[in-house]
Structure 1
């Protein structure tokens, strides 16, 4: 009897939300591998039975790379943030043989409100892949960018370069409302990542999101189909196998290792009945695109108030919360990089 994971793969494209390459080896095949600062910090902190860091050599090599490449890659730049980017790329590139699609790296959350810094960060991430492995096809890189107005603005520049060969695939992440989803489609993002649960649920034990974004994911996918948008919906931030199964029929789902194992180990029917029934139904609410366009008209100030008002302010609160959490994890990564750089420079 097929497992729930096997059944799910017939309904949606499944990606792994991890930087532990053993997960892809054991539970694949997967389409993409997704990651962020929290996933990277957790992976770099993993230890072997003897207490040593599993990725100690990767961390040290990344520090050496940062010192060697900085003058040409980021003249006058910060070696600490550069080393963090290299560590994340080195973790991700291990998945290249085990996924068929994109390797996702998230930009620095501290730059979520700067188009210029986010754009440069994305370009640098692609360059690092080439430096780590000159044979790697960088068209397999998808840069995850927080779904602020500025972040989606950076996506637009990256996705629509006048020279097609220079275009970069992007995923607008931490999406909580249709206003963000429409802006991302206008930017021609490759993906959006609606967070079904606000990010806080993964860091505060016992906390439950009382307004899960299932209908938003369905609403976005239906709207994209109606408007022939190229953007695909990749649902993220799930807390149970039941939540994953409810999303059967969505374009893409990225799933954490514990939930992947739960789906792989179980062949019991979903308690939600027929797999895919939820997504086959119409959304509970329909987005008024005409009203959005009439108010927005390409104006930043108009978009900001539309976003602020969305869900009585809940979308903005959840986005700010996510950026704060990712900034905390960026701090952790930078501390790892700082120690490794100090060690490398002392030799």
Structure 2
């Protein structure tokens, strides 16, 4: 077996793309999107018909251009999600507007709006995950949504404090980032190369995974944001890994044996269980410059791409 096939035997593989053709090729179980991926997908020829339908939907919903654009973006995002859902057996993750990351009530409202659009499209809403940034406000929104039966994927997660808060909130799935953590350490320390076993992102996700398994949390850990396949190899055995088509192709081209690194029944953790309130959560974030900076940067970048998508739509509305 090639390394992609070996990885699939020990970890659920998720495609980090909105390109249906790539998803069909690599046959992941789940798929995930974000504003950056939706922006790219919106320019692909295979989505031109869907874009036309989205534009018509927006015009029917409102006479105000700003409202039309919002409705078109939501329709397009859900339409791409539904199409992807048709080619994966598992979940599709759809992201709430990053500009709502510090507003619990607005995040809840947007999540419910997206689920209603999925319902209206005939999609299977039991296979939809709502992606929310791992701010305190986002985690509290997810806690309420989970109780309402809307499963959530908490993204832009960079440290154990965020992971602990998500687990205590009963979040279905978290997406701890690997490559962006590595980026921060390279920039802040001047170290150009880290050995795979010393990669700070790999260490962070391994710590979170082992902590969850040690204390019996059901929240799924899905490593994300990879810079190279060595990071993926070091997390073999993790619940899920969401991987770009480029790195999926690299794994497919390698036939070297792949060793499982993480084990749910034998977690390498001795950390005490801890519940965080808002004060302790914010202090833990304050004590981690990396997590604070990367969370803020991630929200800004997703918001920028959401703005670009809206600008693209506004030209056609």
Alignment TM-score, normalising by the size of structure 2: 0.88
Residue 187 (structure 2) aligns with = none
1:87 to 47, 56, 76: 76
Distance 1:76 1:337, change over 3 A: closer
1-structure distance, mates of 2:231, 2:22: 20
Counterpart of 1:344? none
**What is the CA–CA distance in structure 2 between the aligned matches of 1:200 and 1:104, rounded to whole Å?**
24
Task: Find 1:31's aligned residue among 19, 29, 32.
Answer: 29
| Equivalent position of 1:242 in the other structure | 230
- Could you give the per-residue CA deviations for residues 73-118 of structure 1, whole angstroms, max 9, x where no partner exists? xx99822222112111111211223211111101100010000111
Q: Which residue of 156, 161, 165 corresponds with 1:179?
A: 161
Question: Structure 2: any 5+ residue segments left out of the alignment?
Answer: 184-190
Q: Deviations over 1:231-265 (max 9, x none)?
A: 01001000222221221100000110111111122
Q: Which runs of 5+ in 1 are unaligned?
A: 47-52, 162-166, 202-206, 342-347
In structure 2, what is the equivalent of residue 130 of structure 1? 119
Shift of 1:269: 3.6
Q: Count how many residue pairs are aligned between Structure 1 and Structure 2.
A: 305
Aligned to 1:145, the other structure's residue is in SS state: strand
CA distance in 1, matches of 2:66, 2:314: 14
Structure 1 partner of 2:8: 9
Describe the shift of the 1:208–1:78 C-alpha distance in structure 2 as closer, same or farther (beyond 3 A): farther
CA shift for structure 1 position 57 = 2.4
Q: Secondary structure at the match of 2:312?
A: helix
- Matched with 1:315 is 291
Q: Within 5 A, what are the aligned runs for 1:179-328?
A: 179-198=161-180, 212-269=200-257, 275-277=259-261, 283=268, 287-290=271-274, 293=275, 296=276, 298=277, 300-310=278-288, 313-328=289-304
1:219–1:287 Cα contact (<8 Å) kept: no
Contact 1:247 1:279 in 2 (8 A): no
Matched, 1:107 2:105: no
TM-score normalised by the chain length of structure 1: 0.81
Output the CA distance in 2 between the equivalents of 1:199 and 1:35: 20
Deviation at 1:55, TM superposition (A): 2.6
Q: CA deviation at 1:200?
A: 9.8
Match of 2:59 among 60, 63, 67: 67
RMSD: 2.5
State how far apart, in whole Å, the 2-side matches of 1:76 and 1:329 are: 19
Counterpart of 2:17?
18
